[in-house]
Chain A
């Protein structure tokens, strides 16, 4: 079968355009489109896994004149994760057809970010996901949701401008927007300009990827939004943008940029985990913990040039965080795990996040520590272990508080399904090889 990755972006966009015409059945329609997208992403992964990286030109012009999509193992897996969690999460929506439209657009944008091989195209998809997320965060329409959405929108749009300036600097020097072409010729760029564009791009994407000084919106937006939207934010835009940062690191591929990313990751990890430790409000605690995990993923990606453990480590932390944290956010609309499925989802999610074998979170931290040990950077290892201990303490407190509660969330079954995916992916050791595929730059 001929597999076109572009369908995974074009079909959700087309269905979002169709949505206003079929207001009544919007929920079934959107759900079936998400299901179709998940199926396509499985096919795509099977193809990429068997045949190696896949390129698809768009509009018939060979890159870099035209745009192309570049799919490797890791991006196909991420597209699969985003789409399957989006499908499960969508089961919890209870809003009108405009919500379904925005949700589909947000998912299509996040999928586009991981599949595209063109830096300006990536920016466009960033805009789509970001604009959809602003509206989705505000969809609760109360004071807190509006506050979170406004903070997110202001920071997000300033971030987009930074990203655009970074792209413009690269284009002014290399006359190209293609990621591969840029990576091949980046060394002919003036080092000053290289740093300038790198810092602009990192700042721009860092807002979405919740990196330390740029994440002021995170706690408010996650706290204010409806719980299924907090869950969407933690598996969709944030994961796609941390992957975009990984691609950025590969393009620039200087030891100093990797070093900068490592420091940024460490600071983000420590700030996130310590803030989560002092937090009483459940959703804010989960949001700060997300920041910490994003720092951990960035640390993993920043070791990419040194050790082969880095990419599997990042992948497993992404799986564990995307599933377990999204599930915990889904459960967070009520205090307590009253029924069996929410008890199971909460417990398994927490165990995966703090890194209990054989769950996905364990493999992530395990490979990361192996990579760090290979490089003999013991300070980083100490920081990772320290943050894991803090994480274990506040999650134990969280479990203790919630297991007592009699109420239970309406979203418990989708949450349980999400966590189960993380368990399955953690048990399949075969995934180690799958995720180890080279990233394309």
Chain B
């Protein structure tokens, strides 16, 4: 009876959502159709926020990847927050899952997986590092790069049952990466006028050493996400029975 009621309510809700989403006006996007008002000065601008991002990215941030510019510069505070969410989750997992007592022995993986993963691991790490170092130039950045690195360690965990991440270096990497991000933000307050503001030279757009603080922050995020995701995977492996 409860199941039936749940199904009925859920499908009614789904139908309402479907109808209402169908009615969202598909506003054709044009630059002059929207304007925004600045809350501090009360002035109005004759462009929309997205078109500002598209036109201003290169000059204001020195990055050629607009998505990266939004994630790390324009809305860098949100990214600090998102990194913290992941950090909170990893800390929570470490706090709640304690070391398993032995657990069932898992069989060794087969020869192909074992030797293959050893061969592939350096390339996975390289690809991950490439993705986050070039975050301001090519698609990708700290989050996907870190996830790729963590997937390399996950592969090692799958092929070698005895492979454990050493807790200390992982947590030190995680801490230093987080400290780097927050300290860069505070340095912005010190050397420029506001938190997380760029204080390094922008350089030539399109070069590796350009875009000010973006590559530094993305490298920190890459290390942080990589170490956090691998430590979460490692923690879950420890309690496996």
B-contacting residues of A (Cβ < 8 Å)? 4, 6-7, 10, 13-14, 16-21, 55-68, 70, 96, 98-99, 101-102, 105, 108, 112, 117, 120-121, 124-125, 127-128, 131-132, 134-135, 138-139, 141, 169, 172-181, 184-185, 190, 192-193, 196
Judge whether A58 and B39 touch: CB under 8 Å. Answer: no
Give chain A residues whose Cβ lies under 8 Å from the Cβ of B126: none
Closest chain-A Cβ to B1's Cβ sits at a distance in Å of 19
Given contacts A57-B40, A59-B196, contact A127 B87 (CB under 8 A): no
CB within 8 Å of A: which B51-89 residues? 52-53, 56, 60, 73-78, 80-82, 84-85, 87-89
Q: Digit string of B1-34 for contact with A (CB within 8 Å is 1, else 0)?
A: 0000000000000000000100111010000001
Judge whether B92 and A131 touch: CB under 8 Å. Answer: yes
Can you list 8 pairs linking A and B with CB atoms under 8 Å apart? A21-B172, A57-B40, A62-B41, A66-B75, A121-B78, A131-B89, A131-B92, A196-B20
B130 is an interface residue with CB less than 8 A from chain A? no
Given contacts A6-B195, A58-B195, A180-B37, contact A67 B91 (CB under 8 A): no
Give chain B residues whose Cβ lies under 8 Å from the Cβ of A178: 36, 39
Stretch at the interface among B100-108, B115-123, B157-165, B178-186: B178-186
Closest chain-B Cβ to A169's Cβ sits at a distance in Å of 7
A-contacting residues of B (Cβ < 8 Å)? 20, 23-25, 27, 34, 36-41, 48-50, 52-53, 56, 60, 73-78, 80-82, 84-85, 87-89, 91-92, 94-96, 171-172, 174-175, 178-179, 182-183, 185-186, 188-189, 192-198
Please report the C-alpha to C-alpha distance between residue A65 and residue B84 in the assembled complex, in whole angstroms. 23
Give chain B residues whose Cβ lies under 8 Å from the Cβ of A65: 49, 52-53, 56, 74
Please report the C-alpha to C-alpha distance between residue A185 and residue B178 in the assembled complex, in whole angstroms. 37
8 Å CB contact of A17 from B49, B178, B196, B198: B178
Judge whether A185 and B194 touch: CB under 8 Å. Answer: no
Please report the C-alpha to C-alpha distance between residue A13 and residue B184 in the assembled complex, in whole angstroms. 13
Judge whether A59 and B188 touch: CB under 8 Å. Answer: yes
Judge whether A55 and B39 touch: CB under 8 Å. Answer: yes
Report which residue of A132, A139, A175 has the largest number of chain B beta carbons within 10 angstroms of its beta carbon.
Answer: A175
Judge whether B96 and A59 touch: CB under 8 Å. Answer: no
Given contacts A60-B192, A134-B92, A135-B91, contact A121 B77 (CB under 8 A): yes
Give chain B residues whose Cβ lies under 8 Å from the Cβ of A64: 36-39, 49
Judge whether B80 and A13 touch: CB under 8 Å. Answer: yes
Give chain B residues whose Cβ lies under 8 Å from the Cβ of A180: 37, 39
In the complex, number of A-B residue pairs with CB atoms less than 8 Å apart: 185
Knowing that A63-B39, A175-B50 touch, tell me 12 more A-B residue pairs with CB under 8 angstroms.
A6-B77, A13-B84, A14-B178, A56-B194, A57-B40, A65-B52, A98-B94, A132-B88, A132-B92, A176-B34, A177-B49, A180-B39
Given contacts A120-B75, A124-B81, A131-B92, contact A20 B179 (CB under 8 A): no
Judge whether A135 and B92 touch: CB under 8 Å. Answer: yes
Give chain A residues whose Cβ lies under 8 Å from the Cβ of B198: 59-60
Closest chain-B Cβ to A208's Cβ sits at a distance in Å of 15
Report which residue of B40, B77, B183 has the largest number of chain A beta carbons within 10 angstroms of its beta carbon.
Answer: B77
Judge whether B39 and A128 touch: CB under 8 Å. Answer: no
Judge whether B185 and A121 touch: CB under 8 Å. Answer: no
Closest residue of chain A to B27 (Cβ to Cβ) is A173
Q: Is the interface of A mostly helix, strand, loop or mixed?
A: helix
Give chain A residues whose Cβ lies under 8 Å from the Cβ of B53: 65
Please report the C-alpha to C-alpha distance between residue A135 and residue B235 in the assembled complex, in whole angstroms. 15
Please report the C-alpha to C-alpha distance between residue A193 and residue B179 in the assembled complex, in whole angstroms. 41
Give chain A residues whose Cβ lies under 8 Å from the Cβ of B24: 169, 172-173, 193, 196
Judge whether B50 and A61 touch: CB under 8 Å. Answer: no
Judge whether A17 and B179 touch: CB under 8 Å. Answer: yes
Please report the C-alpha to C-alpha distance between residue A102 and residue B96 in the assembled complex, in whole angstroms. 12
Closest residue of chain B to A169 (Cβ to Cβ) is B24
Judge whether A66 and B88 touch: CB under 8 Å. Answer: no
Enumerate the 9 nearest inter-chain pairs by beta-carbon distance, A residue then B residue, closest first.
A135-B92, A17-B178, A180-B39, A124-B81, A60-B197, A14-B182, A98-B95, A59-B196, A6-B195
Judge whether B25 and A190 touch: CB under 8 Å. Answer: yes
Judge whether A124 and B78 touch: CB under 8 Å. Answer: yes
8 Å CB contact of B194 from A14, A57, A99, A192: A57
Give chain B residues whose Cβ lies under 8 Å from the Cβ of A128: 81, 84-85, 88
Given contacts A4-B195, A61-B74, contact A192 B20 (CB under 8 A): yes
Judge whether B95 and A66 touch: CB under 8 Å. Answer: no
Given contacts A21-B175, A58-B195, A65-B52, contact A176 B36 (CB under 8 A): yes
Given contacts A181-B37, A193-B24, contact A20 B82 (CB under 8 A): no
Judge whether B189 and A59 touch: CB under 8 Å. Answer: no
Judge whether B77 and A101 touch: CB under 8 Å. Answer: no
Please report the C-alpha to C-alpha distance between residue A164 and residue B50 in the assembled complex, in whole angstroms. 18
Please report the C-alpha to C-alpha distance between residue A127 and residue B75 in the assembled complex, in whole angstroms. 16
Judge whether A10 and B39 touch: CB under 8 Å. Answer: no
Report which residue of B27, B34, B195 has the largest number of chain A beta carbons within 10 angstroms of its beta carbon.
Answer: B195
Closest chain-A Cβ to B46's Cβ sits at a distance in Å of 13
Give chain A residues whose Cβ lies under 8 Å from the Cβ of B186: 10, 14
Judge whether A112 and B81 touch: CB under 8 Å. Answer: yes
Given contacts A10-B182, A20-B172, contact A105 B39 (CB under 8 A): no
Closest chain-B Cβ to A27's Cβ sits at a distance in Å of 15
Please report the C-alpha to C-alpha distance between residue A6 and residue B185 in the assembled complex, in whole angstroms. 10
Judge whether B179 and A18 touch: CB under 8 Å. Answer: yes
Closest residue of chain B to A106 (Cβ to Cβ) is B88
Give chain B residues whose Cβ lies under 8 Å from the Cβ of A7: 189
Closest chain-A Cβ to B222's Cβ sits at a distance in Å of 16
Closest chain-B Cβ to A161's Cβ sits at a distance in Å of 12
Closest chain-B Cβ to A119's Cβ sits at a distance in Å of 11
Judge whether B194 and A58 touch: CB under 8 Å. Answer: yes
Judge whether A17 and B39 touch: CB under 8 Å. Answer: no
